[in-house]
Amino acid sequence: MKKQLIYLFLVISYFSFSQKGDSIKNIYAAKLFELRSLQTEVFYSKKEADRMAANKEFIKAIESIAGDQKVLDFPFDSLHDISTLSPKNKKFKLITWNIHKDDETHLFFGFLLVNNSKRIKTGFMKHETINNYEYFKLVDKSGSVKNPETYIGTPDKWFGMLYLDLIECEDYYTLIAWDGNDKLIQRKFIDVLYFKPDGTPVFGKDVFKFPKKNPKRLMFEYSSDVTMSIKCNHKNNTIVYSHLGPREEGTVMDGLPQYYGPDGSFDSMIYKKGKWVVEEDIDARNAKNKNDNKDKPDKEKLMPKEK
């Protein structure tokens, strides 16, 4: 109760001050304080019910400011335990996070804030900016998807995952993501986001030249006890990733992802003419970048468990 009273006093103080100064700036300052207070309960509460209840308030707090285009400048990346990605042209902000359940499965949540504003020519040396901002709440429907690699979804039918990195392509965005899945198997994805001519965002696209299948995204399943590496080289548009195999080939472990892990070799994908082309068994010794230590979130921090 004492904590709640202190929080209420500070929020009221922020809003009172906002009437004297820049109201939007100070309302956002209060909202940032609120989100930071809530995220402690969302990600660190020992009881699942408390995590879920706090998460509902966390979502409401974001929704309360998401309708204002100025939210594109909101410092979501200063919040811990959530991922925020934006392209260089700042067309959108992709915000995702996950809640760890007591049964060691995961629920995913997120928002996509999109700036579709255009600058058009209205005459000689004259231009006009047409503002067109939208936000989308990401609703995780992964539990009902039978084949994640061929699934194409919109924000309200999103295959939930935690996005960690972004590569800008010609008319779409390639996303590297992680999914804790369950206590035996975790997954990584190479996903795709693109926008239809009317501005509708879509996840999943036919841009992979991959042997023996026609995926809309790539999925890698492996043991929860190991780490798989996916490295993006943003300078030459390549993705290098661990090749996965069973601990013992030719045994009952074949085909069971809970026994799979990196076998020491690497494959890659090279961006050519708008497509990702697979190259198998490459030398990855020089393929280091900022994501080397970003293979998956810290389970001890993001996924508290009851003792």
**Cross-sheet strand order for the sheet of 133-139:** 83-85, 92-100, 106-115, 133-139
CB burial of residue 135 (10 Å; 0-12, 13-18, 19+): buried
Output the pLDDT for position 274. 94
Output the pLDDT for position 234. 87
Output the pLDDT for position 139. 98
How confident is the prediction for the chain on average, in pLDDT?
85
pTM of the predicted model over 0.95: no
Residue 256, CA distances (Å) to 77, 120, 208 in order: 37, 55, 24
pLDDT at residue 277 greater than cutoff 90: yes
DSSP type of residue 184: S
Percent of the chain at pLDDT above 90? 69
pLDDT at residue 72 greater than cutoff 50: yes
Output the pLDDT for position 249. 74
Which of the four pLDDT bands, split at 50, 70 and 90, describes residue 283? low
Report the range of poorest mean pLDDT among 14-28, 56-70, 102-116, 288-302.
288-302
**Cross-sheet strand order for the sheet of 238-246:** 208-209, 275-282, 260-272, 238-246, 230-233
Residues 198-211 pLDDT 10s: 999 999 999 999 88
With residue 130 as reference, give the H or E element that holds it.
Answer: strand 126-130
Residue recorded with tokens 């070799």:
265
Residues 153-209 pLDDT 10s: 999 999 999 999 999 999 999 999 999 999 999 999 999 999 999 999 999 999 999
Output the pLDDT for position 248. 76
The string over 11-47, giving b where at least 16 C-beta atoms fall within 10 Å of a residue's C-beta and e elsewhere, is eeebeeebeeeeeeebbbbbbbebbebbbebbbebee
Which of the four pLDDT bands, split at 50, 70 and 90, describes residue 240? very high
Output the pLDDT for position 56. 98
Q: How many CA atoms lie within 13 A of 43 on its CB side?
A: 20
Output the pLDDT for position 121. 60
pLDDT at residue 144 greater than cutoff 70: yes
Backbone Cα Rg of the chain: 21
Residue recorded with tokens 């005459």:
123
In angstroms, rounded to a whole number, what is the distance separating the alpha carbons of residues 166 and 177? 9
Asked if 203 and 153 touch (Cβ cutoff 8 Å), the reply is: yes
Asked if 21 and 30 touch (Cβ cutoff 8 Å), the reply is: no
Output the pLDDT for position 124. 65
